[in-house]
Amino acid sequence: MNMIKVVIAGPRGRMGREAVEMVTKTEQFELLAVLDHKNNGMMLSDIPGFQAVHRVPVYTDIEKCLEEVKADVLIDLTTPEVGMYHAKTALNYGVRPVVGTTGFTKEDLQELEQICRDKNLGCIIAPNFAIGAVLMMKFSQMAAKYFKDIEIIEMHHDQKLDAPSGTAVKTAEMIAAVRESKKQGHPNEKETLDGARGADYDGMKIHSVRLPGLIAHQQVLLGSDGQTLTIRHDSYNRSSFMSGVKAAVESVMKQNSFIYGLENILE
Ligand code: NAP
């Protein structure tokens, strides 16, 4: 069995902790090191919550890390600025990134796509690693052929840094690919309170809800004459994302190009 050697960036985060558990429990994966902006030079087992994870060093400097450990894949679960730097650096070291971090700009994605092309390396970025969320996006895209008026309501915990969510933007992009641009609502509608109608994507509306207690939820409301259709997905905990991260780590080893969205690697 060929082991896939992994580095995880952001191990102390909510997603990072789940990823450490998934990687250490997966037989064909080996966790070589973690990247953290704190705790440089420590062992992961010295950090509370990781006592059972043995012989995994903590690095702050990604270049030093990738020079010293020979990794195949970098899983990044940090913040958009850091995630972009990590993904670019990993590719420059011949390491394939699997990125769950959200909030990348279109320009960021284009830049990474170009680096993958230049280096002939795979990179998978997925704004949502939950299989159910990918199906929700696909079903919404199918329905959008028949329902042209669409509002997306995404709901997340109040510690989320970016809005709208990467999943909402990706859903809107997938819908826009099959739906003719249409400005929704009354042509003369006017907001008496700024933001009341939400963000605009190709005429569709996106609304971002942030509340403690939520994890990651989205509903896509589609309206037509005399009927509405609601497609909804809920992640109740962060382990819901890990089967997708695992599939992406396995898949990225076979890829030589940039892939955006889990739906592109699912059979
Ligand atoms: P989180 O709990 O805030 O974790 C982020 C972690 O990154 C924190 O521990 C933070 O450290 C660490 N960090 C910051 N700068 C760093 C650096 N330079 N090097 C290494 N680590 C660094 O957030 P989360 O909920 O785990 O989410 C992480 C990312 O994944 C977010 O972008 C989120 O939107 C995204 N996400 C994606 C999916 C998906 O399916 N694709 C699902 C859920 C979340 P401190 O604790 O010291 O600040």
Rounded mean pLDDT of 72-88?
Answer: 97
* Predicted model pTM: 0.89
The overall average pLDDT reported for the chain is 96
- 219 pLDDT above the threshold of 90: yes
Find the catalytic residue in 156, 207, 217, 246.
Answer: 156
Over the stretch 251-267, which tens digit does the pLDDT of each residue have? 999 999 999 999 999 87
Residue that is written with structure tokens 């159910």 in the block = 132
Give the helix/strand (H/E) hosting 136: helix 131-144
The dihedrals phi and psi of 234, each to the nearest 5 degrees, come to -130, 130
Residue among 8, 22, 36, 214 to mutate when testing ligand 1 (max atoms within 8 A of CB):
36
Which contacts of 140-144 are long-range, i.e. CB under 8 A and separated by 24 or more positions? 140/171, 140/174, 140/175, 140/220, 140/222, 140/231, 141/171, 141/174, 141/175, 141/177, 141/178, 143/220, 143/222, 143/229, 143/231, 144/175, 144/178, 144/179, 144/222
- How are beta strands 149-156 and 204-210 bridged, if at all? parallel
37 counts as catalytic: no
Specify the ligand 1 atom closest to the Cα of 36: 20
Q: Residue with the nearest Cα to atom 32 of ligand 1?
A: 101
Two tokens, residue 82: 């850091």
Q: Could you give the strand order of the β-sheet that contains 204-210, starting from the edge strand earlier in sequence?
A: 199-201, 204-210, 149-156, 216-224, 227-235
pLDDT tens per residue across span 161-218: 999 999 999 999 999 999 999 999 999 999 999 999 999 999 999 999 999 999 999 9
Confidence class of residue 33 from pLDDT cuts 50, 70 and 90?
very high
Q: What share of the chain is helix, strand, coil (3-state, %, to 5)?
A: 35, 25, 40
Residues lining ligand 1, judged by CB closer than 6 Å?
Answer: 9-10, 12-16, 35-38, 77-79, 82, 100-103, 126-129, 160, 216, 241
Rounded to the nearest whole angstrom, what is the distance from the C-alpha of residue 68 to the centroid of ligand 1? 24
| Residue pLDDT, tens place only, 107-139 | 999 999 999 999 999 999 998 999 999 999 999
Determine contact, residues 22/242, Cβ cutoff 8 Å: yes
pLDDT at 1 over 80: no
